[in-house]
Structure 1
Amino acid sequence: MSTYLVKRLTYILVILLAASFLIFSLYALTPGDYVSSNIKLSPERKAELRELYGLDKPMLDRYVIWIKNALQGDFGYSLAQQKPVLTLFNEYIWNSFLLAAVSTFLTWLIAVVIGVISAYKQYSWFDTVVMLIIFAAMSIPSFFIGLYLIKMFAVDLKWLPPGGMTTTGSNATGLAYAKEVIQHMALPVVVMTLLGIGSLTRYIRSNMIDVIKQDYIRTARAKGLTERKVLFTHALRNALLPAITLVGFELPGLFGGSLIIEKIFNWPGIGQLYMSSFSLRDYPLLMSFTVFIAILTVLGTLLSDLLYRLADPRVKLD
Structure 2
Amino acid sequence: MLKFILRRTLLMIPQLFFLSILVFMLAKAMPGDALTGVLDSNPNASAEHIEKVREKMGLNDPWYQQYGRWVGNAIQGDFGKSYVHQQKVTNILADKVENTIILSFFTLIVTYIIAIPLGIIAGRWTDSWADKMIVTYNYFAFATPLFVFALLMMFMFSFVLGWFPYGGSVDIKLDAGTWDYIVSRAKHLVLPVMSGALLLTFSTIQYLRNDIIDQKMKDYVKTARAKGVPEGKVYTRHILRNSLLPIAAFLGIEITGLIGGSVFIESIFSYPGLGYLFIQSIGTRDFPVVTILIMISGAAVIVGTMLSDIILSIVDPRIRIE
Under TM normalisation by the shorter chain, which class is it? over 0.9
- Contact 1:116/1:231, CA 8 A, preserved across alignment: no
Give the secondary structure class of the aligned counterpart of 1:275. helix
1:210, distance to aligned residue in structure 2 (A): 1.1
Distance, in Å, in 1 between the alignment partners of 2:256 and 2:56 is: 33
Q: Partner of 2:23 in structure 1?
A: 23
Mark the CA change 1:234 to 1:109 in structure 2 (over 3 Å): closer, same or farther: farther
1:49 matches 2:49:
no
Identity of aligned residues (%): 34
1:88 matches 2:92:
yes
- Describe how 1:194-273 pairs up with structure 2 within 5 A: 194-222=198-226, 225-273=229-277
So what's the TM-score if we normalise by structure 2? 0.92
- Contact 1:119/1:209, CA 8 A, preserved across alignment: yes
1:225, distance to aligned residue in structure 2 (A): 4.9
Distance, in Å, in 1 between the alignment partners of 2:2 and 2:266 is: 40
1:10 matches 2:10:
yes
Q: Partner of 2:37 in structure 1?
A: 37
The letter for the 2-side match of 1:302 is M
Mark the CA change 1:245 to 1:45 in structure 2 (over 3 Å): closer, same or farther: farther
Which region of structure 1 is more displaced relative to structure 2, 155-164 or 77-86? 155-164
Mark the CA change 1:244 to 1:45 in structure 2 (over 3 Å): closer, same or farther: farther
1:278, distance to aligned residue in structure 2 (A): 1.2
1:95, distance to aligned residue in structure 2 (A): 0.7
Q: Partner of 1:103 in structure 2?
A: 107
- Contact 1:241/1:311, CA 8 A, preserved across alignment: yes
1:314 matches 2:321:
no
Give the secondary structure class of the aligned counterpart of 1:35. helix
Which region of structure 1 is more displaced relative to structure 2, 164-173 or 37-46? 164-173
Distance, in Å, in 1 between the alignment partners of 2:190 and 2:52 is: 47
- Contact 2:252/2:311, CA 8 A, preserved across alignment: no
1:221, distance to aligned residue in structure 2 (A): 4.2
The letter for the 2-side match of 1:285 is V
1:162 matches 2:166:
yes
1:274 matches 2:278:
yes
Name structure 1 gaps, 5 residues minimum.
Answer: none
Name structure 2 gaps, 5 residues minimum.
Answer: none
Which region of structure 1 is more displaced relative to structure 2, 216-225 or 234-243? 216-225
Which region of structure 1 is more displaced relative to structure 2, 153-162 or 308-317? 308-317
The letter for the 2-side match of 1:272 is Y
- Contact 2:122/2:131, CA 8 A, preserved across alignment: yes
1:6, distance to aligned residue in structure 2 (A): 3.5
Distance, in Å, in 2 between the alignment partners of 1:94 and 1:220 is: 48
CA RMSD of superposed structures (Å): 1.9
Q: How many residues align?
A: 318
- Contact 1:16/1:295, CA 8 A, preserved across alignment: yes
Give the secondary structure class of the aligned counterpart of 1:106. helix
Q: Partner of 1:174 in structure 2?
A: 178
1:9, distance to aligned residue in structure 2 (A): 2.3
Of the candidates 306, 309, 321, which is equivalent to residue 305 of structure 1?
Answer: 309
Give the secondary structure class of the aligned counterpart of 1:77. coil
Distance, in Å, in 1 between the alignment partners of 2:77 and 2:179 is: 35
Distance, in Å, in 2 between the alignment partners of 1:229 and 1:160 is: 43
Q: Partner of 1:283 in structure 2?
A: 287
Which region of structure 1 is more displaced relative to structure 2, 43-52 or 293-302? 43-52
1:184 matches 2:181:
no
1:146 matches 2:153:
no
1:2, distance to aligned residue in structure 2 (A): 4.0
1:178, distance to aligned residue in structure 2 (A): 0.9
